[in-house]
């Protein structure tokens, strides 16, 4: 579906008017933050959580702006209605400026790219890439290394790259959060090293509500090989099992992970886009 309108600072405009001047040094230098929001059945999922993280990302890099949370919610609602959106991904792009009042907020509708269904059945392949993001909690426009890692993964025929820190621990994907699982115990990398994904937050809530435990710490190759399995989460993919990392094949996808995937899908189908 071709979406005809986008939002710029709350004003609805035709997509043909969408532009960022080449002279915009803040955009050129990556001084901006963004969010991607899933829309299903006309409902933006976890909208408040995404808007809060957008604001927190901006705060972390010193990006001042005039947009309040309720104001941004209104912009999103108006854009969904104007474009008659049923299913889409919304991208919110907040670009800084030398003055807070000159910051710009773009919201655009994109056709969603759903992962192949066989990835949920068989799992996805990954490579590793050594890189630590400068502001791990901020979802910034400075995505060069993540882009290069993702490009390398695609060249290798993999779904994504898993980033490895200086200590050799796996921390996250270029666009995803990473976990191991042993029985009903979920292991997540240290929160100070990763982007605190909104889908990650929702998945952990659902897991805890259904008898799973969560443990935070370093995830080394040893932990991965001793676990029953591994998986990733993101807005677009929900939960996808990991089949292999580099040349290492993981064990078959455990029942505890299959159950978690089912429970999470049921939650998404009945939560009306709300975390609580």
Report the predicted TM-score, pTM, of the whole model to 2 decimal places: 0.95
Shared domain check, 251 and 162: yes
* Residue 275, in any domain of the structure: no
Question: Among the three residues 94, 110, 126, which one is the final residue of a domain in this structure?
Answer: 110
Structural domain contains residue 255: yes
**Structural tokens at position 98:** 């030398």
Residues 140, 80 share a domain? no
Same domain, yes or no, for 154 and 257?
Answer: yes
Would 11 be classed as within a structural domain? yes
Task: Give the CATH number of the domain where residue 262 resides.
Answer: 3.20.10.10
Q: Are residues 106 and 123 in the same domain?
A: no
User: For a pLDDT cut of 70, what percent of the chain falls above it?
Assistant: 100
Longest pairwise C-alpha distance within the chain: 54
Same domain, 139 and 261: yes
Task: Single out the residue in 85, 110, 135 at which a domain terminates.
Answer: 110
Q: What average pLDDT does range 21-25 have in this prediction?
A: 81
Strands 124-130, 238-245: pairing kind: parallel
Identify the pLDDT of residue 266.
Answer: 98
What number is the average pLDDT over the span 134-163?
A: 96
In a domain, 276, yes or no: no
Report how many domains make up the chain.
2
Task: List the structure tokens of 115.
Answer: 């992962």
Residues 128 and 257 in one domain: yes
Which among 110, 133, 155 is the end of a domain? 110
Given pLDDT bands bounded at 50, 70 and 90, which one contains residue 217? very high
Is the same domain home to 100 and 134? no
Spatial separation of the C-alpha atoms in residues 220 and 179, rounded to whole Å: 11
Lowest mean pLDDT among 91-95, 130-134, 208-212: 130-134
pLDDT score recorded for residue 214: 98
Residues 180 and 100 in one domain: no
SS3 assignment for the chain: CCCCEEEECCEEEEHHHCCCCCCCHHHHCCCEEEEEEEEECCEECCHHHHHHHHHHHHHHCCCCCCCCHHHHHHHHHHHHHHCCCCCEEEEEEEECCCCHHHCEEEEEEECCCCCCHHHHHHCEEEEEEECCCCCCCCCECCCHHHHHHHHHHHHCCCCEEEEECCCCCEEEECCCEEEEEECCEEEECCHHHCCCCHHHHHHHHHHHHCCCEEEECCCCHHHHHHCCEEEEEECCCEEEEEEEECCEECCCCCHHHHHHHHHHHHHHHHCCCCCC
Residues 218 and 193 in one domain: yes
Q: What is the pLDDT of residue 2?
A: 85
Judgement on whether residues 238 and 163 belong to the same structural domain of the protein = yes
Task: Select the more confidently predicted residue: 16 or 239.
Answer: 239
Do 158 and 237 sit in the same domain of this protein?
A: yes
Is 204 a residue whose pLDDT tops 90? yes
Domain span at residue 123? 117-270
| Domain CATH code at residue 73 | 3.30.470.10
Q: Is residue 143 part of a domain?
A: yes
Domain presence at residue 233? yes
Task: Tell whether the model's pLDDT for residue 1 goes beyond 80.
Answer: no
């Amino acid at each position: 579906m071709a979406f005809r309108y986008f939002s710029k600072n709350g004003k609805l405009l035709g997509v043909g008017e969408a532009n960022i001047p080449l002279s915009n040094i803040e955009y050129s230098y990556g001084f901006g933050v963004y969010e991607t929001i899933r829309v299903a059945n006309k409902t933006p999922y976890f909208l408040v959580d995404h808007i809060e993280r957008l604001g927190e990302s901006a705060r972390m890099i010193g990006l001042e702006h005039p947009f309040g949370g309720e104001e941004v919610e209104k912009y999103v609602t108006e854009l969904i209605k104007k474009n008659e959106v049923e299913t889409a991904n919304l991208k919110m792009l907040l670009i800084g400026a030398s003055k807070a009042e000159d910051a710009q907020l773009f919201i655009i509708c994109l056709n969603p790219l759903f992962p192949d269904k066989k990835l949920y059945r068989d799992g996805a392949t990954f490579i590793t890439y050594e890189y630590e993001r400068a502001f791990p909690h901020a979802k910034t426009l400075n995505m060069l290394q993540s882009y290069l890692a993702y490009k390398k993964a695609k060249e290798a025929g993999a779904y994504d790259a898993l980033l490895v820190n200086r200590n050799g621990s796996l921390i996250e994907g270029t666009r995803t959060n990473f976990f191991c699982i042993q029985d009903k115990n979920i292991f997540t990398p240290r929160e100070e090293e990763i982007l605190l994904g909104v889908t990650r937050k929702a998945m952990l809530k659902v897991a805890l509500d259904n008898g799973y435990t969560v443990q935070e710490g370093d995830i080394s190759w040893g932990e991965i090989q001793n676990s029953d399995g591994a998986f990733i989460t993101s807005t677009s993919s929900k939960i996808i099992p990991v089949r292999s990392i580099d040349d290492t094949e993981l064990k078959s996808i455990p029942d505890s992970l299959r159950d978690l995937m089912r429970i999470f899908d049921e939650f998404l189908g009945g939560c009306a886009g709300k975390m609580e």
